[in-house]
A and B are shown apart, each in its own frame.
Chain A
């Protein structure tokens, strides 16, 4: 069988592979949607008749959806059919459930291929300095990562790609999962800046907080001091000028500062920091967030949490519990869920949502928690996270309840383009379906 080079003749190869996979698969196998983008501009697509769960908690029956040029152009109920230029082009999705494409928070998609192989990792700047605000995940992205189609085929259409390490790790990129499109992968290269509380710096949470305050103070004052600094007439600053520059958008609330924190006391420290510097923040982790749910709600601070976390893994997460998401939601906090399987298994997002539902989170809120809420948490809700006119046309049609383990997407659209092709995993599967072909070696 053809050995596919993922780097050459990409589209045609994958299409061939798909055809081959169909041929080899038993008839019962449903044709899989895929993950190859045509970089080409997306023409108009009309979907009618499905049940659309918008992502913001609302549901539209017998929905009409139009996508064009990578964006949603029409979204509405049956009355919107009149707006379609050519209804005969419409795909009938009667009886199907439609959701926004899933949005994976806190990933290293495209910057880590194999966790234990340093040569495949670009998630962290090797540096003694704890402040790396200018480090951009977007600059390291590999649009041909094997991980991308594997997630996309299961309905993950956007991800926050987050650098790691240090006290301030760097710039978070928001990507749409358009495999192979190196120049187009990043939708928003500098949506947020990732930083950490707890013992992230100098082995002490007090040192961590002090350092963060020092850096934020220097950064806030930097624009006024830039000229003096350039003339060497400034005192020494706590971070490199490029890092201080990179922090500027958070003071205008044009970028979010994400702060990882699990212990209730650390979350309170994060709220204080946000108030003192007038920042838009998001809590990442939040094992004990339920303990301070009301304060988080009042400050309108979203929490990105892991829905399976119930183990007191350390003294910072003694209060970890499965209904964390449910309790926060009830208090009015925006809750986003992490994929329990990590970057290689972002496709576990719906399972995580189902687990949250099993422990008290309302179904529609769980859908929001893997679509619109993560978009909000990174400040990109104006372009991502729900099915609304003007937003990026990321959308999934499901075979059943999206959270159920028996369900899978029947169609995935990324930026208005339907995925085709297959994944490296499916190719492996189909190569080894029939082991009789491996009988050439010595007995």
Chain B
């Protein structure tokens, strides 16, 4: 029996996300592709939207208010009302939740589920394209395995949304993907959180040094930073060449007034069918006359350019305070934002700088010491960040930890309080709901219990900060996707392995109860 936790952290690497990133709209006349369609029945039903009244629970909104007893009205995929004693619409299904607690669905900014699927077979190690320090062009969405049984465990822990990141071997690990834990999906595209921006995984410190030190570098932290600088410089120049091209093309168009220029990265970003404008070699087809031709598309540079344009959010694995400070300076130099540092065991040392930069820190409650750069980790990290006005997030980076992010938040909250740092229950809840939603760029849609938000929520057996509390029901976009004991969907992998499975005459449906535990 081996302990797996500590060594995995951060070492795990995953590729990037589907980029539903907007591409440059500048002079490109092609309409952007439609965003991925929502997949929940609730959202696509064409008839009257079903209404559900969740009644009589303690309601923790993560929006500043905790009701000792209140109701939440859902309509279709949305929350339409939150408050005490809501009137039940005549056609609403009423669910009595007396004695229970309602929170927003839990959101994890840092997971490798699906790209390091269980069981941990060599064949399942799809989380880190550790072939070069810069693999910004790979995407986690291309490796996400929706049949990973860890997805079911995370959902049973109240997780409704998670960011799947490439690993941290590389300076630029690739694009992340934000997925919902909807059961019964057959592709990563179906699991994507509609409209979520892509993230870019970057990594500081020991991991790139260790992985590439003997393979051409970087071998030192100097090499790491030189690598970031080089890539952002090249991406700036790449951007410039496209800007120049668009300007030239627009001028040519004005003169020639004819065809449309191609759009870069189209099939890459959206998996749309190629249209006739693309030639055999993958380059845009030649237009008549002396139409200016676009520069070559480079998907790695395209990803980093997306960061410079503010369309792709940087998620930066970084432990040490001094390195985070360097990264903030680099970001200021090149004019981009780091959305969140991850792991950031030293974040409390620069909480003021993080607050000023508007950069979040995704941290653990108590992990520390597994590597030199994590040696100064303390349990009051999140509390000190919150006190300094920075945006704190509790993340997991673990298929075990993700099942109890509520408990991790509780540990960090109580550690803060014991040290005399005030942290409210609402603030601690925001560490695992509203704040991660912000870090993933989906805070307008989810992360709090407020009218207009998606109906992503968890019914807990009691106070979510108690060790004895268990998630009893989970809703994603208005759909009930988990009910403890009676609706526990199970991915394909485990079918046939649980006792009793082989006595079944028909397999369970993927979205209904997968069957009993013995």
Binding site for B on A (CB under 8 A): 25-30, 32, 106, 113-117, 147, 260-262, 284-287, 306, 308-315, 317-319, 321, 323, 340-345, 347-348, 350-351, 354-355, 357-358, 403-406, 408, 425-426, 428-429, 432-433, 435, 438
Contact = CB atoms under 8 A, between A and B. Distances in A.
Contacts of B371: 114-117
Contacts, number: 146
Given A114-B369, A315-B119, A318-B497, A432 B384 contact: yes
Nearest to A285: B1
A261 B2 CA distance: 10
B61 interface: no
Contact of B369 (A106, A113, A351, A408): A113
Contacts of B366: 341, 345, 347-348
Interface in B347-397: 348-352, 366-372, 375-380, 384, 388
Contact of B1 (A147, A260, A408): A260
Interface string B1-29: 10111110000000000000000000000
A181 B414 CA distance: 31
Residue among A32, A342, A403 with max Cβ neighbours from chain B (10 Å): A342
A287 B119 CA distance: 14
A313 B400 CA distance: 11
Nearest to A308: B400
Contact of A116 (B1, B350, B372): B372
Interface string B386-430: 001000000000011001100100110010001110000000000
Contacts of B351: 432, 435
A355 B349 CA distance: 32
Nearest to A314: B119
A439 B376 CA distance: 21
B467 A351 contact: yes
B334 interface: no
B486 interface: no
A378 to B, nearest CB: 16
B149 to A, nearest CB: 6
A73 B377 CA distance: 40
Contact of A314 (B120, B369, B418, B470): B120
B420 A27 contact: yes
A234 B269 CA distance: 72
A312 B466 contact: no
Interface residues of B, number: 56
Contact of B467 (A29, A32, A355, A408): A355
A408 B416 CA distance: 13
Interface string B478-503: 00000000000000011001100000
B206 A28 contact: no
A310 B153 contact: yes
B419 A406 contact: no
Interface of B: 1, 3-7, 118-121, 149-150, 153, 206, 348-352, 366-372, 375-380, 384, 388, 399-400, 403-404, 407, 410-411, 414, 418-420, 465-470, 493-494, 497-498, 517
Contact of B3 (A29, A317, A342, A432): A342
B367 A116 contact: no
Nearest to A341: B366
A306 B4 CA distance: 11
A317 B372 CA distance: 31
A344 B369 CA distance: 7
Given A115-B371, A351-B411, A312 B468 contact: no
A405 B368 contact: no
Nearest to A425: B378
Contacts of B375: 114
Contacts of A318: 119, 494, 497
B228 to A, nearest CB: 22
A8 B118 CA distance: 48
B419 A29 contact: yes
B118 A429 contact: no
Nearest to A317: B119
A343 B5 CA distance: 11
Given A313-B120, A341-B367, A358-B469, A428 B378 contact: yes
Contacts of A341: 5, 366-367
Contact of A311 (B379, B400, B498, B517): B400
Contacts of A315: 119
Contact of A404 (B119, B380, B403, B467): B467
A311 B369 contact: no
B366 to A, nearest CB: 5
A358 B470 contact: yes
Nearest to A113: B369
Given A341-B367, A405-B466, A116 B119 contact: no
- Which 8 pairs of residues, A with B, have the shortest CB-CB distance? A285-B1, A354-B467, A26-B420, A29-B420, A344-B369, A405-B410, A116-B371, A28-B420
A50 to B, nearest CB: 21
A312 B407 contact: no
A401 to B, nearest CB: 9
Nearest to A120: B372
Contacts of B493: 312
14 contacts: A27-B420, A115-B7, A115-B371, A116-B372, A260-B1, A308-B400, A309-B400, A312-B497, A343-B3, A357-B468, A405-B410, A425-B379, A426-B419, A429-B380
B209 to A, nearest CB: 11
A116 B206 contact: yes
A39 B192 CA distance: 59
B419 to A, nearest CB: 5
Contacts of A343: 3
Nearest to A352: B467
Nearest to A353: B467
A341 B411 CA distance: 13
A28 B467 CA distance: 24
Contacts of A340: 5, 400
A405 B118 contact: no
Contact of B411 (A319, A321, A405): A405
A113 B352 CA distance: 30
Given A114-B371, A425-B379, A311 B149 contact: yes
Nearest to B409: A405
Contacts of B407: 351, 405
B399 A403 contact: no
A313 B367 contact: no
A404 B497 CA distance: 34
A357 B388 CA distance: 36
A405 B414 CA distance: 7
A354 B468 contact: yes
A348 B217 CA distance: 38
A158 to B, nearest CB: 19
A27 B370 CA distance: 33
Q: Which of A117, A426, A432 has the most CB of B within 10 A?
A: A432
B369 A403 contact: no
A406 B414 contact: yes
Contacts of B467: 350-351, 354-355, 357-358, 403-405
B388 A435 contact: yes
A207 B171 CA distance: 42
B427 to A, nearest CB: 16
Contact of B119 (A313, A319, A350): A313
Contact of B420 (A25, A113, A306): A25
A295 B388 CA distance: 56
B400 A429 contact: no
A433 B497 contact: no
Nearest to B411: A405
B477 to A, nearest CB: 26
Contacts of A350: 467
Contacts of B368: 344-345, 425
Nearest to A21: B419
A405 B404 CA distance: 12
A215 B4 CA distance: 29
Contacts of A435: 349-352, 388
Nearest to B371: A116
Contacts of A32: 418
Contacts of B352: 435
